[in-house]
């Protein structure tokens, strides 16, 4: 768990929930090899108010935001999906908002985490849940806690005027990183006692009865809908400054744009549709931070491989630290964009687009794949006429990328794999072009400052060789692509 100076903390919660009736007898964990004992904690009386948008957008994405009192972890809790049986919990103390401002009664720090879902919609109380909790702490062979078994008596009401609901449920949560095998063995004891896996993923889901929107049946609409959910997930990672998150959010943005371009007739949009321009602009804003992050990692790795005598002058500070400073500036610019009404309206428009029925007379997937491959072939022909200039090779990469995403959405997996190979090679080549251009700029600045520029030349040559290796493999990759497309 990481904790900031302001009291914010994050941790991974791994737990399973079970439905039981009032007469079900709690299980015994005696006899399990990994368990040395069980200790009962004092009964906890917990009360939580849950917040959501008018359209229940958080609940539809299995996200919960609550203000809980009582128990050892009272405070604001934001829980986010993190895989099977797991959720990431972001915790703020009850004092959040002093001096941090509140909006709709919710700390801005938590609202910002899910801003791609909430956008500029109001948040308001949607449910109140009270729990009488009995906790058994399960200890491992060394006597330290490894899991907690919670027997909950629940009283809940949908706000503002829902009928009261009552039920009993069990929770089994690992302590710390935990042992998934142990979770399975403990779960079997609960099942043997008569419990059933919970029908809903959370108490709030049971109260609100909100179901995620079904994915569209049409392949292109479905693919864009899936990538939109990926975009929203990467948005959270960018806000948390997770390594490589900006890159992945940019990739996802460009996937969506490529699919819309390839299947314009299916979506009923024009070639110059404003939505395509907005996606291009978002990718461009993210690109500043992405390029700087790539350069910082690339330079750090390259310098680590050089013999010490070849690393001369303050080259590490100028290249690595300089790129990291540009990344920080680019990230701040990206976050400003991601907190703007313009970004919210882009997400609104994408949701509306995937929810709309396919346009009448839209092109079938096979047609869009064929059209995307023709673009690749045209780009290759033009590149050869231009003696494979950097810009011409970049056009091949862009057309291969569009083909890859279109083929993947259409189920043409072999075409997608071959197109990805072309795209990857040209991505390596393009990164070498980016690095060489930056090295020239940095070398000029170093020379002007009277610094030794030897290392910049060494790195430039290494980047040339890396680009040449990628370029040398391109023709073979293009032939393999042609073999499955022609």
Average pLDDT over all residues of the chain? 92
Q: Which residue has the tokens 């009283």?
A: 155
Residue 95 has pLDDT above 80, yes or no: no
User: Which residues are bridge partners to 166 per DSSP?
Assistant: 155
Q: Are the C-beta atoms of 89 and 68 separated by less than 8 Å? A: no
Q: Give the mean model confidence (pLDDT) for residues 134-157.
A: 94
Q: What is the pLDDT of residue 189?
A: 95
Structure tokens at 256: 């969506």
Q: Is residue 356 helix, strand or coil?
A: coil
Residue 99 has pLDDT above 80, yes or no: no
Q: Provide the Cα torsion 89, 92, 97, 100; round to 10°.
A: -90
Before 99, cis peptide (omega within 30)?
Answer: yes
Cα 257 versus chain centre, distance: 18
Q: How far is CA 146 from CA 7, 90, 426, in A?
A: 25, 21, 49
- pLDDT tens readout for residues 230-240: 999 999 999 99
Q: Is residue 462 helix, strand or coil?
A: helix
Angle between helical axes of 274-305 and 322-338 (0-180°, round to 10): 160
Say how far apart CA 467 and CA 465 lie, in whole Å.
5
Q: What is the pLDDT of residue 177?
A: 63
Residue 2 has pLDDT above 50, yes or no: no
Q: What is the pLDDT of residue 359?
A: 82
Listed in sequence order, the DSSP H helices in 240-364 are 245-262, 264-267, 274-305, 315-316, 322-338, 341-355
- pLDDT tens readout for residues 237-275: 999 999 999 999 999 999 999 999 988 888 988 888 999
Q: Which uninterrupted H or E stretch holds 364?
A: none
Say how far apart CA 337 and CA 377 lie, in whole Å.
36
**How many other CB atoms sit within 10 Å of the CB of residue 100?**
15
Query: Among 29-33, 331-335, 450-454, which is the least confidently predicted range?
Result: 29-33
Q: Are the C-beta atoms of 432 and 287 separated by less than 8 Å? A: no
By CB atoms closer than 10 A (0-12, 13-18, 19+), residue 307 is: exposed
Q: Provide the Cα torsion 264, 265, 270, 275; round to 10°.
A: -40
Q: For residue 362, give the DSSP letter.
A: P
> What secondary structure does DSSP assign to 129-190, as a single string?
EEEEEEEEEEE-TTSSEEEEEEEEEEEEEETTTPPEEEEEEEEEEESTT--HHHHHHHHHHH
Say how far apart CA 385 and CA 108 lie, in whole Å.
55
Q: Give the mean model confidence (pLDDT) for residues 393-404.
A: 94
Q: Which residue has the tokens 């700390």?
A: 107
Kindly list the structural domains of the chain, giving each domain's residue range(s) and its CATH number in brackets, ordered by start: 2-208 (2.40.320.10), 220-485 (1.40.20.10)
Residue 367 has pLDDT above 80, yes or no: no
Is the model more confident about 388 or about 149? 149
Q: How far is CA 470 from CA 379, 463, 466, in A?
A: 18, 11, 6
Q: Are the C-beta atoms of 104 and 118 separated by less than 8 Å? A: no
By CB atoms closer than 10 A (0-12, 13-18, 19+), residue 217 is: exposed
Q: Give the mean model confidence (pLDDT) for residues 285-304.
A: 95
Enter the pTM of the model: 0.88
pLDDT band at 128 (very low <50, low <70, confident <90, very high): very high
Q: Give the mean model confidence (pLDDT) for residues 180-203.
A: 93
Q: What percent of the chain has pLDDT over 70?
A: 97
Residue 280 has pLDDT above 50, yes or no: yes
443, 469, 191: which is closest to 312 by C-alpha?
443
Q: What are the phi and psi torsion angles at 215 (to 5°)?
A: -70, 145
Residue 166 has pLDDT above 70, yes or no: yes
């Amino acid at each position: 768990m990481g904790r900031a100076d302001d009291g914010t903390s994050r941790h991974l919660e791994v737990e399973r929930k079970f439905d039981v009736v009032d007469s079900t007898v709690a299980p015994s964990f005696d006899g399990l090899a990994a368990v040395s004992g069980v200790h009962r904690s004092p009964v906890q009386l917990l009360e939580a108010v849950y917040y959501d948008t008018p359209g229940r957008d958080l609940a539809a994405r299995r996200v919960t935001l609550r203000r809980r009192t009582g128990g050892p972890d009272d405070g604001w809790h934001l829980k986010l999906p993190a895989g099977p049986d797991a959720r990431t919990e972001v915790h703020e103390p009850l004092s959040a908002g002093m001096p941090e401002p509140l909006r709709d009664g919710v700390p801005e720090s938590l609202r910002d985490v899910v801003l791609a879902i909430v956008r500029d919609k109001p948040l308001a109380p949607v449910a109140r849940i009270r729990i009488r909790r009995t906790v058994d702490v399960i200890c491992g062979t060394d006597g330290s806690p490894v899991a907690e078994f919670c027997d909950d008596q629940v009283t809940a009401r949908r706000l503002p005027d829902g009928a009261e609901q009552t039920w009993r449920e069990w929770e089994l949560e690992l302590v710390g990183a935990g042992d998934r095998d142990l979770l399975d063995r403990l779960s079997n004891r609960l099942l043997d006692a008569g419990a059933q896996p919970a029908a809903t993923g959370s108490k709030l889901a049971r109260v609100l009865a909100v179901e995620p929107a079904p994915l569209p049946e049409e392949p292109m609409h479905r693919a864009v809908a899936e990538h939109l959910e990926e975009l929203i997930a990467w948005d959270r990672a960018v806000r948390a400054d997770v390594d490589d998150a900006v890159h992945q959010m940019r990739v996802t943005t460009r996937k969506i744009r490529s699919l819309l371009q390839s299947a314009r007739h299916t979506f009923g949009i024009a070639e110059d549709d404003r939505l395509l321009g907005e996606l291009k602009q978002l990718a461009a804003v993210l690109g500043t931070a992405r390029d700087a992050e790539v350069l910082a990692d690339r330079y750090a790795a390259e310098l680590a491989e050089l013999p010490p005598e070849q690393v001369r002058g303050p080259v590490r500070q100028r290249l690595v630290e300089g790129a990291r400073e540009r990344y920080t500036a680019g990230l701040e610019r990206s976050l400003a964009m991601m907190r703007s009404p313009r970004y919210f309206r882009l997400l609104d428009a994408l949701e509306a687009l995937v929810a709309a029925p396919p346009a009448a007379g839209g092109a079938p997937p096979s047609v869009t794949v064929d059209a995307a491959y023709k673009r690749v072939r045209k780009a290759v022909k033009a590149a050869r006429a231009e003696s494979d200039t950097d810009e011409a090779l970049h056009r091949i990469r862009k057309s291969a990328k569009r083909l890859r995403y279109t083929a993947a959405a259409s189920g043409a997996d072999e075409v997608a794999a071959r197109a990805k190979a072309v795209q990857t090679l040209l991505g390596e080549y393009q990164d070498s072009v980016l690095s060489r251009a930056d090295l020239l700029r940095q070398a000029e600045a170093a020379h002007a400052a009277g610094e030794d520029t030897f290392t910049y030349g060494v790195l430039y040559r290494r980047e040339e060789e890396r680009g040449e290796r990628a370029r040398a493999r391109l023709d073979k990759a293009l032939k393999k692509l042609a073999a499955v497309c022609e």
